[in-house]
Structure 1
Amino acid sequence: MYKWLAIILSCLLIAAGISGCVYSKAMAPMKKARDAAEERLKSETDIKSADEFYLYNGSRTYYVVIGKNSKGQEAAAWIPDNKKDKVHVKKISDGVSKQDAVNKLLSEKKPKEILGVRLGMEKELPVWELSYLDENSNLNYYYIHFDSGKWLRKIENL
C-alpha cells in the first residue's frame, strides 16, 4: 500500500516539476520584453517605478508601463517595440481612469464578464482596450480614447 502511495506522490512531484519548467519557459519572452521596456523607461522617461505592465498587440506592439514619476505623480509610458520609435508619456490624471473606462463599458454594453482592461496605442492615440464576454459568451473588444473618454472602436461577436 505504501509503495503505491510513494509511486503516486513521486509521479505528482515530477508532473509539478515539469509544469513549473514549462511555465517558466513560456514566460521567458514576456520577462525579456518587460526588462527591455523597463530599461527604455528608465533611460527615456521621468518614470521612476514600474508598478503595472501591459503587453498590447494592436496594429503595432507596445509595452505599456504605469508607474510614478520623479514628482510622485502616476504616469503611463507607451513604449513601441521598435527601438527607433518615440516613447509616449502621459500623466494618468490627464486621461480617463481605468475605472471610468470600465464604467463607460458597463453603461453602454451589458457584459457578462469583463476579461481584461489594458492601455494600448492605436494610430498614435492612447486607448483603453476592454475585452469582455457578452450575454451569448461572444468575445468583444471595446476601445476608449484615453484622453477624451470617447468611444473609438469596437470589435464584436468573435
Structure 2
Amino acid sequence: MKKWIVIPLIVIVVIAGSLIKIYFSSVQPVKAAEKKAVSIAKGKIQLSEVDDFHIYNGIETVYVIEGKNKQGSKVIVWVPEKSKKVYIKKAKDGLTKEEAIQKLVNEKQPKKIISVRLGMEKNIPLWEIYYRSENNLINYYYVHFETGEWLKKIENL
C-alpha cells in the first residue's frame, strides 16, 4: 500500500522540479538582459530605482527601463541592443499610458486592448498599442511618445 503512495509522490516531485528548472532557465536570458541594460543606463544617468523593465522587439531590439533618478523624478530609458546610444526622457515630458490609449480610442473603436508598452523604432520613442477590433482582428497602433502623433498602424492581421 505504501508503494502506491510513494511512487506517485516521487513522480509529482520530479515533475515539479523539472518545471521549476525549465521556468528558471527560460527567465535567465531576460534577467541577464535587464542586468546589462540597467548597468548601461546607470553609466548614463543616476538611476536610484528601477520600476519596470521590458524588451521591445520591433525593427530592432530595445530594452526599456522605467524608474526614478536621484532627484526622484520618473524617467524612461531606452537602450538599443546593438547601438551604443542611450535615450533618456523624463516621464512627464511624454504621453502617459492612459493618454496613448485615449489617442487610440479617439481614432479607432477597439474591442479589446491587449497590451500597451513603450518601445522605439528608428530612434523615435513610442507607445505600441496592441488591440483587437470589432471584427476580432489583431491591430497595432504606434503613437509618438513625446508629441502624441500617430506614427504607424498595422491593421487587420
Work out the CA distance in 2 between the residues paired with 1:37 and 1:93.
Answer: 22
Q: Distance in 2 between matches of 1:132 and 1:33?
A: 27
Shift of 1:123: 1.3
Listed as ranges, the matches of 1:1-158 within 5 Å are 3-82=3-82, 84-158=83-157
CA shift for structure 1 position 134:
2.3
Question: Mean alpha-carbon deviation: is it higher for 107-116 or for 87-96?
Answer: 107-116
Distance 1:47 1:151 in 2: 30
Distance 1:97 1:6, change over 3 A: same
Task: Provide the rounded CA distance (Å) in 2 between the counterparts of 1:10 and 1:103.
Answer: 53
Q: How many residues align?
A: 157
Q: Secondary structure, in 3 states, of the residue corresponding to 1:96?
A: coil
Listed one character per residue, the Cα deviations across residues 92-144 of structure 1 (whole Å, up to 9, x for unaligned) are: 00000011112222332233332221111111111001112223332211100
Structure 1 gaps of 5+ residues are none
More strand by share: 2
Cα deviation 1:40-78 (Å, max 9, x = unaligned): 111111332211112011111110101111211101011
Q: Which amino acid counterpart does residue 104 of structure 1 have in structure 2?
A: K
CA positional deviation for 1:28: 1.2
Mapped partners of 2:49, 2:147: distance in 1: 26
Equivalent-residue separation in structure 1 for 2:10 and 2:110 (angstroms): 44
Identity %: 44
The alignment partner of 2:70 has SS state of: coil
Question: Could you tell me which amino acid in structure 2 is paired with residue 78 of structure 1?
Answer: W
Q: Return the alpha-carbon distance in structure 1 between the equivalents of residues 105 and 6 of structure 2.
A: 52
CA separation of 1:10 and 1:139: change in aligned 2, threshold 3 A? farther
| RMSD of aligned Cα (Å) | 1.7
TM-score (norm 2): 0.90
Mark the runs of 5 or more structure 2 residues left unpaired by the alignment: none
SS of 1:49's equivalent in the other structure is strand
Whole-angstrom distance in 2 between the partners of 1:100 and 1:2 = 62
Query: What letter corresponds to residue 70 of structure 1 in structure 2?
Result: K
The one-letter code of the counterpart of 2:125 is P
SS in 2 for 1:64: strand
